[in-house]
């Protein structure tokens, strides 16, 4: 694995995250006023609103997250165009800088979650597209801006997505941590094009896995639905909204409630909700997972925001297989 790819995975990040306030002067002068057109990589990052927060708390949490993401962008030669509301818009001199920054944005946000800070990790969705961009004053125009702005609405929680055009311009090793997830059309861009996900969380963990590790998979069963988490599909989301891989209706269930991730032959349950996730394994008393992660072994039952039994209609059954 090359150093660039290692950096992308987050295992080699060394940025200091102690000061999350963006320098105001640097932010104000971030966009150059030369009026020239250059080949740049545009990054849009959306911070999802938390339905369990009141408006003031949600705004405060989003602003804290934007400060973290903005710092990471600047550290990787990024220029901030906008960091307001629930969105960060910035550009980079190369696709490699943009992709590396995107991976570190997710990791930096995770590292800042603590009981003392009061910061709650939101769902961050990132889209990147490269091409000819014109910078004029505090405005940025060009096809990459329009495409990235529309693509970020297609991204799922914790995803980094990009176009095939951008991926082809990256070092070839990035192909190892990418997968084509959709082919779509976007208003303002001629024809259909492929959208690729960059799998930032599991890239290092799944690089050159042994045969036994790569064969491991976890089977989820919810009512008549079966979803498999594996080396080829390293993350599955659960929540109230229809865009989740497993959608479970319920007033106490968060929109993006929890996920299960594959990590080199191991499977981890991650809760991001307000009311927690209940885990029942091998007949032991239910364990409540709230705002942290825990490994999954053998087989058991998952309940989103509620305790469930084997025969409960809201029970999500899982089994780890090899």
Residue boundaries of the structural domains of the chain: 18-198, 211-321
* Sign, CA torsion 101/104/105/106: positive
Give the pLDDT band of residue 203 (cuts 50, 70, 90): very low
Q: What is the CATH number of domain 18-198?
A: 3.30.70.1230
Question: In the chain, pLDDT over 70 holds for what percent of residues?
Answer: 80
Name which residue leads in pLDDT, 281 or 42. Answer: 42
Give the pLDDT band of residue 30 (cuts 50, 70, 90): very low
Helix (H, G, I), strand (E, B) or coil at 122: coil
- pTM (2 d.p.): 0.59
Q: Output the pLDDT for position 213.
A: 52
Element (H, E) at 64: helix 55-75
pLDDT per residue over 100-131, tens digit each?
Answer: 999 999 888 878 765 455 667 777 899 999 99
For residue 64, pLDDT over 60 is answered with: yes
- When the candidates are 3.40.1110.10, 3.60.21.10, 2.160.20.60, 2.60.200.20, the CATH number that belongs to 211-321 is 2.60.200.20
Please state the rounded mean pLDDT for residues 82-88.
92
For residue 44, pLDDT over 70 is answered with: yes
b/e 86-101 (16+ beta carbons within 10 angstroms → b): bbbbbbbebbbbbbbb
Q: Quick check: 79 and 43 in contact, CB under 8 A?
A: no
Give the pLDDT band of residue 219 (cuts 50, 70, 90): very high
* Tokens (6 digits) for 201: 């969380």
Task: List all residues 6 or more positions away from 306 whose beta carbon is below 8 Å from its beta carbon.
Answer: 250, 252, 275, 278, 314
Q: Output the pLDDT for position 163.
A: 93
**CA dist., res. 273 & res. 71, Å (int):** 26
For residue 282, pLDDT over 60 is answered with: yes
Of the ranges 105-109, 136-140, 222-226, which is most confident?
222-226
Q: Output the pLDDT for position 45.
A: 96
Q: Output the pLDDT for position 110.
A: 79
């Amino acid at each position: 694995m090359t150093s660039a790819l290692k950096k992308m995975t987050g295992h080699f990040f060394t940025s200091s995250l102690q000061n999350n306030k963006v320098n105001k002067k640097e932010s104000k002068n971030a966009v150059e006023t030369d009026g020239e057109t250059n080949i740049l990589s545009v990054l849009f990052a959306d911070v999802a609103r938390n339905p369990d927060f009141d408006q003031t708390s949600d705004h405060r949490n989003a602003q804290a997250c934007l400060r973290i993401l903005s710092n990471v962008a600047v550290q990787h030669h990024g220029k901030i165009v906008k960091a307001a509301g629930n969105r960060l818009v910035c550009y980079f001199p190369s696709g490699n800088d943009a992709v590396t920054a995107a991976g570190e944005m997710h990791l930096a946000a995770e590292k800042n979650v603590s009981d003392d800070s009061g910061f709650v990790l939101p769902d961050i969705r990132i889209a990147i597209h490269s091409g000819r961009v014109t910078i004029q004053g505090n405005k940025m125009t060009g096809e990459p801006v329009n495409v990235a702005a529309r693509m970020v609405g297609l991204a799922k929680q914790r995803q980094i997505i990009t176009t095939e055009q951008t991926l082809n311009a990256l070092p070839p090793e990035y192909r190892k941590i990418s997968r084509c997830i959709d082919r779509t059309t976007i208003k303002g861009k001629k024809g259909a094009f492929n959208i690729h996900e960059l799998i930032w969380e599991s890239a290092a963990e799944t690089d050159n896995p042994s045969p036994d590790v790569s064969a491991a998979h976890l089977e989820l069963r919810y009512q008549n639905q079966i979803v498999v988490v594996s080396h080829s599909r390293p993350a599955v989301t659960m929540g109230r909204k229809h865009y989740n891989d497993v959608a479970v209706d319920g007033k106490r269930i968060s929109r993006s409630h929890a996920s299960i991730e594959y990590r080199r032959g191991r499977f981890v349950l991650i809760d991001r909700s307000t009311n927690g996730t209940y885990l029942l394994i091998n007949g032991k008393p239910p364990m409540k997972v709230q705002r942290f992660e825990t490994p999954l072994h053998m087989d058991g039952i998952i309940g989103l925001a509620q305790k469930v039994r084997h025969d409960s209609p809201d029970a999500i059954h899982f089994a780890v297989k090899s």
